[in-house]
Each structure stands twice: as structure tokens, then as C-alpha cells.
């Protein structure tokens, strides 16, 4: 079933690439003065880039990217980190005094970094500290790898977008040389040749590069969240003084 779905996805990707090339070659659209919207060029760039994602079997990553961009934000993660940092000492004293069950009642898991949910639940279940640390580290690596894969995918599309724009430029020039005697086709062919490069640069620099930066920020903040939880766990496990926790770090 998985191989069948993979084959269908790849065929769909080739179909989108072919459709993008077909529209770029055959969709005649004249531009009016001051009009920068050239749908043949947009269709060529967009369909080829999406087709390349499908050909490389990254449909699940594309879906994961959409969910990540919708559900997570660097500002939200930063806010969660800043909300927990001043309370680390308080949470440690609460754990020493009343145990992990009190932590579970005290914390709102929706407003704290994701690492704290499994940390508190595992402590409440009396999982050994060493195992809790190992599980947190494993979860941190898995999430880091997932975001790393998304960053690699978007970065690849960022570098490919200008090249796809050059494909449109070549197609436009080929059409232009083939229709030199048809003056009415001069404008559409030149539009395809020039605007394809423009849209490729816009897609890479203006649209995809900020996504890469956003994902890298999410990755760094996510790592900080797990480091924060693991540091707190280290203090608790070794019964170290909670004076090591400086609330002023939250304003750094």
C-alpha cells in the first residue's frame, strides 16, 4: 500500500511538472501597462516546485511543514520559555515538598514548553531520573531531526526556485525566437522570459527564505526548552541547591 501511494505521489509530481511546462509554453496572456501578474509564469514556477516536492516523496514533510507554520511560532515559544524560567526555583521547591503530582496540578501544559509535559508525567509515574533524562533527550533529538528535515526541504526549494525561473526564461526565449514574425506574440513571450526569473527570485528570496529563518528559530527555541527542562531535572536528581537557578536569566 505504501509503495502504491509512493508511486501515485511520484506520478502526480511528474504530472504537475509537465502541467507547469505546458502552461508556460501554451498559455498566451498579454500584459497591460503596469501589470506584474503573469499567470503563466506563476503557474510554471509554482507547479514545478510542488511537483519536485512530490517526486522526492516529501508529501508528508510538506504536510508537516504546513502544520508547523500554522501551529507554532517563535514568539510563542519564546514567551513560554520566559514564563517558566523565573519559576524554576519555585517548581523545584514544590517538587521537594509535595512531589510530582503537585507539579502536574500546578502547571498549565498548554502555556509551557513541550518538554515539561512528558517530564512531569514521567516523574509523576515514578520513572527513574536516568530514564526520564534518556527519554527527554531522545524526544529532543527526534524533534530536532524533524525540524532539520523541514529546514533542508525548504532550503532546497529556496535554491531551486531561481533555477526554475531560468527554465521559464529559456522557454520564453525559445518561443520568442520561434515567433519573431508574429509581433502580437512578442509581448507574451518576453513576459514569460523575464517575469519567470523575477518570480523565481521572489519565491526563493521573499517567500521561502523567511520560512527557513522561522524554522531555524523554532528549532533553536525548541532546543532551549529541552535544555531548560533537562537542567532543572539535573538539579532535582542530584538534590543540588536551587540557588543555581537564577530568575534573572529570563530577561537575558
Give the DSSP letter string of the chain.
-HHHHHHHHHHHHHHHHHHHHHHHHH---PPPTT----HHHHHHHHHHHHHHHHHTT-HHHHHHHHHHHHH--HHHHHHHHHHHGGGHHHHHHHHHHH-HHHHHHH--GGGS-TTHHHHHHHHHTT--HHHHHHHHHHHHHHHHHHHHHHHHHHHHHHHHHHHHHHHHHHHHHHHHHHTTT-GGGHHHHHHHHHHHHHHHHIIIIIIIHHHHHHHHHHHHHHHHHHHHHHHHHHHHHTT--GGG--GGGGG-
CB 93 within 8 A of CB 55: no
C-alpha cell at 10: 511520484
Q: Is the pTM of this model over 0.75?
A: yes
Task: Record the cell numbers describing residue 105, joined without a space.
Answer: 496540578
Contact 199, 41 (CB under 8 A): yes
Per-residue pLDDT of the chain (252 residues; tens, 9 = 90+): 667 777 888 889 899 999 998 888 787 766 665 567 778 888 899 999 989 888 886 677 888 889 999 989 999 999 999 988 888 888 888 888 888 888 888 888 888 888 999 999 899 899 999 999 999 999 999 999 999 999 998 999 899 999 998 988 888 888 777 776 776 767 777 777 888 889 999 999 999 999 999 999 999 999 999 999 999 998 888 876 555 555 444 434
Cell digits of residue 139: 524526544
Amino acid at each position: 500500500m505504501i509503495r502504491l501511494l509512493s508511486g501515485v505521489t511520484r506520478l502526480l509530481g511528474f504530472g504537475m511538472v509537465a502541467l507547469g511546462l505546458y502552461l508556460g509554453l501554451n498559455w498566451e496572456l498579454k500584459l497591460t501597462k503596469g501589470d506584474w501578474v503573469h499567470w503563466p509564469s506563476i503557474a510554471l514556477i509554482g507547479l514545478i516546485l510542488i511537483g519536485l516536492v512530490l517526486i522526492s516523496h516529501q508529501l508528508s514533510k510538506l504536510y508537516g511543514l504546513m502544520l508547523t507554520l500554522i501551529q507554532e511560532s517563535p514568539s510563542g515559544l519564546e514567551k513560554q520559555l520566559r514564563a517558566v524560567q523565573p519559576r524554576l526555583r519555585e517548581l523545584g521547591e514544590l517538587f521537594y515538598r509535595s512531589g510530582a503530582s503537585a507539579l502536574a496540578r500546578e502547571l498549565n501544559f498548554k502555556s509551557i514548553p513541550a518538554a515539561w509535559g512528558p517530564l512531569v508525567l514521567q516523574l509523576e509515574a515514578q520513572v527513574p531520573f536516568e530514564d526520564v533524562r534518556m527519554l527527554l533527550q531522545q524526544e529532543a533529538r527526534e524533534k530536532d531531526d524533524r525540524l532539520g528535515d523541514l529546514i533542508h526541504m525548504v532550503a532546497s526549494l529556496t535554491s531551486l526556485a531561481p533555477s526554475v525561473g531560468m527554465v521559464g526564461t529559456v522557454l520564453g526565449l525559445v518561443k520568442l525566437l520561434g515567433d519573431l514574425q508574429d509581433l502580437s506574440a512578442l509581448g507574451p513571450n518576453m513576459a514569460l522570459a523575464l517575469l519567470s526569473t523575477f518570480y523565481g527570485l521572489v519565491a526563493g528570496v521573499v517567500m521561502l527564505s523567511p520560512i527557513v529563518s522561522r524554522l531555524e528559530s523554532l528549532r533553536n527555541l525548541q532546543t532551549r526548552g529541552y535544555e531548560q527542562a533537562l537542567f532543572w531535572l539535573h538539579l532535582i536528581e542530584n538534590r543540588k541547591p536551587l540557588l543555581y537557578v537564577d530568575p534573572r536569566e529570563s530577561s537575558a
